[in-house]
Amino acid sequence: MEKQKEVMQGDVLTHDVKNSYLKATHRMIAAVGLENHIIFQVKRITVNPGSILSLQKHFHRSEHWIVVKGTAIVNKGDDTFILKEDESTYIPLGETHRLENPGKIDLELIEVQSGSYLGEDDIVRFEDVYGR
């Protein structure tokens, strides 16, 4: 279950509020049943030299990968290709995908996830060397 985060500043009255930021500056504000849904998330991923991540897919999110250091072998659906620094690819919702670092230095990339649900339990793994 995703952790609920509420931040309130000033004279704020709430009831049944989730994942929200509320700030009152000059007068009191009230919020009832307000929920802000997180629809994107950004991660920095490091893959050690010679390592490979699980072959997986997601039902509720797509991903954009941008390589910032090193070289990646990307498996996306039936395609396999190489991404180098400052190159990127888009992984559509439901597409099988995997990353591999064939190099001698760390592979670092930025992953931008977007979709209706971003929880880690939205991963279907087909092959995983880590036994998850």
Residue 132 located in a structural domain: no
- Percent of all residues in the chain with a pLDDT value above 90, rounded to a whole number: 58
Q: Read off the pLDDT of residues 50-82 as tens digits, 9 standing for 90 and up.
A: 999 999 999 999 999 999 999 999 999 999 999
Do residue 31 and residue 93 come from a single domain? no
Non-local CB neighbours of 95 within 8 Å, separated by 6+ positions: 57, 76, 77
d(CA 20, CA 8): 8
Query: Cα 116 vs. chain centroid, distance in angstroms?
Result: 12
Looking at residue 3, its amino acid is K
Do residue 65 and residue 81 come from a single domain? yes
Tell me how many domains the chain contains.
Answer: 2
Do residue 29 and residue 77 come from a single domain? no
- Percent of all residues in the chain with a pLDDT value above 70, rounded to a whole number: 86
Do residue 11 and residue 30 come from a single domain? yes
> What is the residue range of 32's domain?
1-36
Do residue 71 and residue 111 come from a single domain? yes
Question: What SS3 state is found at 119?
Answer: coil
